[in-house]
Structure 1
């Protein structure tokens, strides 16, 4: 059924979680985490979700969608008191990537524990047997990537006929990755009368198909435009010579604070991470050619502050939240404006300020101009060389370069997850790409050679 006209959030004072209907047990956990007032997307959607309505929520990355659906799902499951059954989850949260699944579960776990509810994650790239055992033990909330869940449903390890609430998070990203046919097959196996919540940054044609097919008279809430950038975000385009790109990157990433650097390709992320480490920058890589263990360790090392720079493909552009990311650098301008907005949303989250820098060479001028126009942002463009004073304004503080020994990258895979379910060598250390700068230097002028024009390929069950 067609969605209703979106309700825009008003400027009236935000209610408390308790006033919205969140139970005391969850409010106490929220308070210990420093979460005391709802964000607009939470205040807008929780009353309808807690009342059992289907909900379509749109909000930019970093707007707080995770708590919006997690609190609704847990509150309603606790109220229904339906017992857990082997292989039959009571709630299903579908997400596009493994990292997002893990992050949602980490947010939800302490809240679920307060209500004696059990959660688990399912995604590809890791062994299936522990997942099957967890399903057999019974689970209340299952956070899953579509591909691996479809495998478990196909073998009979999972059944979706007891799902009371289904959530689709980052629905537009699942559409971009080609997961919609699998998502539709999974949704068709959930009870027709179950509650469904769909959250997305944009409502493109693929998402609209899901809304019309699976949501019944949904309450629609939009906290901003689908193209709205975060207002506390400063955008800069640095017009550089190809031979200066790497030195400029070193100056930006050697500054204090967390930085996320985006490349277009997996090989580009690996190469750049190695070169930065060789130059003395603490950096790790995150891309689809790393096995799940290495991906988890690298993201944790970045979140814990062991390293200050994460070099990533668009695998990190959606759903990955690390506190206090001060700077996002597009070493390679993304292919499309939506990717620009989602990449940039790794900074300036939850009302904080942040800076976004795009490196641009002469040959990329038309491409970057079109990109920023479609993204609806106004960027300050500056032509500069290494050592320019603007670099210290964009990334202030004392530069620190730490010589590091050469260490091999761990757990690198070169195509689909291995037959052993992603198990492999486990060093227990972040897969910090380190190599001599001579050996790893990309051809034809620094990072410009990182990227093909094609976007990173999607993988079944999350990249």
Structure 2
């Protein structure tokens, strides 16, 4: 089933600001369909409901129950839901249902999902793949850091659905490997982060290639003025679904601000990292993340760094090792924050406080996912207290505050801190996870010694297609 093209130009309805910075829509004359409480009642194709049952999923999350009926009806959707709320299936299931039965021509996908980071692109692909297979649709993943030639070939072979980061998709459009004039459904996931990362010009350029009479769905953890430009320009009379409370009102998530001294901070971080269970620690720079990961390994803690300076295969292996428990501490930067989707992470530690309240919310979204419980702990030096107070106020969060030292019982109560073994550990080389699509496989390069001088740098540049500021 595909959406019919409109014979008249689309009329744009401009959103307006409401208190608190979020945008809301003017009243729509088009009826909004009610939310449903089971997937069986939504009206999805039988193949999709059967696959949901096979996956053990029968009851939709609130954002899914609210958004899917209107998306199936072809309405533009403006959705707000915190990370881990089920947004991927909220847009993915109607996208697949409305594309099922169609076949893409070479280089001409029928549906597009734009995301800000490589990890999130692969996460979305893996979440949608079993359902796409159930309705015989092909999915291609297009991200930086992997072989552009393989991704171009996947598009030339034909793919109905493309999940992409803006920079790499722009490259493929410029190369002639992808045309967007057949796209009937376009989704922007984590639109606020795409705006924060400076992707708005690339996103705008891509959406201008997409037919104006197609369906648009925009999902984001926050719907503030940074997203307003995209909403005004590209969404037509959208239905607003805002089903999650502000981060400070999420009852399963605790926030703690721990005042520490500069002398105590290094040993305190080591004790928290040595806790039982998985923890994600955020730092401000990739160099600081690398240094902390090395210190933790030397102290007997299985840790690894995750940031934009790592190659995509390295990042993928690190995440797989964290998910499997081979490593227990993930030391990350903001660049990787949105792409970390790991269940049962009950503690996030801001070793370096974030730069603003949005970064705080994105980091905290790695825990208390889909209704589970979690804690966010921020270590604050004396000179950082004022800025942290302002961030929490901007985020609408009330945090528990305490001054702690490395051996305090309060630190143990909040974080589970304990003394590390002190025996250095060496992580085993993680086997690269099996790639499920040629579009996401890393390129294979010949040994450096077999290349003519100077060829390696040119080949690497051609393979990655990296440009400044692109994911």
TM-score range, shorter chain: 0.7 to 0.9
CA–CA distance in structure 2, aligned partners of residues 134 and 64 of structure 1: 28
RMSD after superposition:
2.4
Task: Tell me how far apart the structure 2 counterparts of residues 386 and 405 of structure 1 sit (CA, whole Å).
Answer: 22
Q: Distance in 1 between matches of 2:27 and 2:257?
A: 34
Change (3 A) 1:354 1:259: same
Q: Is 2:82 the partner of 1:60? A: yes
Do the aligned partners of 1:60 and 1:228 also contact (CA within 8 Å) in 2?
A: no
How many angstroms does 1:399 deviate by?
A: 5.9
CA change 1:334–1:424 in 2 (3 A) is: farther
State the secondary structure of the residue aligned to 1:143.
strand
CA distance in 2, matches of 1:318, 1:187: 22
Identify which of 332, 338, 357 aligns with 1:318.
Answer: 338
What's the offset of the Cα at 1:171? 0.6
Classify 1:50/1:396 alpha carbon distance in 2 versus 1 (closer, same or farther; 3 Å). Answer: same
Q: SS state of the match for residue 385, structure 1?
A: coil
**In the alignment, which of 175, 187, 200 is matched to residue 167 of structure 1?**
187
| 1:45 pairs with 2:64 | no
Give the drift of 1:14. Answer: 5.5
Aligned with 2:253 (options 224, 229, 233): 233
1:24 aligns with 2:46: yes
User: Can you list the C-alpha shifts for 1:111-133, whole angstroms capped at 9, x where unaligned?
Assistant: 11111111011011111110011
Partner residue of 2:118? 98
2:130 & 2:419 partners in 1: Cα distance? 38
Distance 2:333 2:185 in 1: 32
Show the 5 A alignment for 1:59-208: 59-78=81-100, 81-208=101-228
TM-score (norm 1): 0.85
Q: What TM-score, normalized by structure 2, do the two folds share? A: 0.83
- Name stretches of at least 5 consecutive residues in structure 1 with no aligned partner: 411-420, 427-457
Q: 1: CA distance between counterparts of 2:420 and 2:268?
A: 14
Q: CA deviation at 1:320?
A: 2.3
Alpha carbons 2:35, 2:66 under 8 Å: kept:
no
Alignment of 1:344 onto 2:353: no
Q: 2:88, 2:109 → 1: CA distance? A: 19
What does residue 375 of structure 2 align with?
Answer: 355
Q: 2:263 aligns with which of 219, 243, 253?
A: 243
Would the aligned equivalents of 1:92 and 1:167 in 2 still touch at CA under 8 Å?
yes
For 1:63 and 1:319, the matched residues in 2 are separated by 14
Residue 364 of structure 1 aligns to a residue whose secondary structure is helix
| Structure 2: 5+ residue stretches without partners | 1-12, 16-24, 29-33, 431-441, 448-466
* Secondary structure, aligned partner of 2:275: coil
Contact 1:14/1:40 (CA < 8 Å) preserved in 2?
no
SS at match of 2:338: coil
Residues 161-201 of structure 1 show CA distances to partners (whole Å, capped at 9, x for unaligned) of 11110000011110111111111111011111111101111
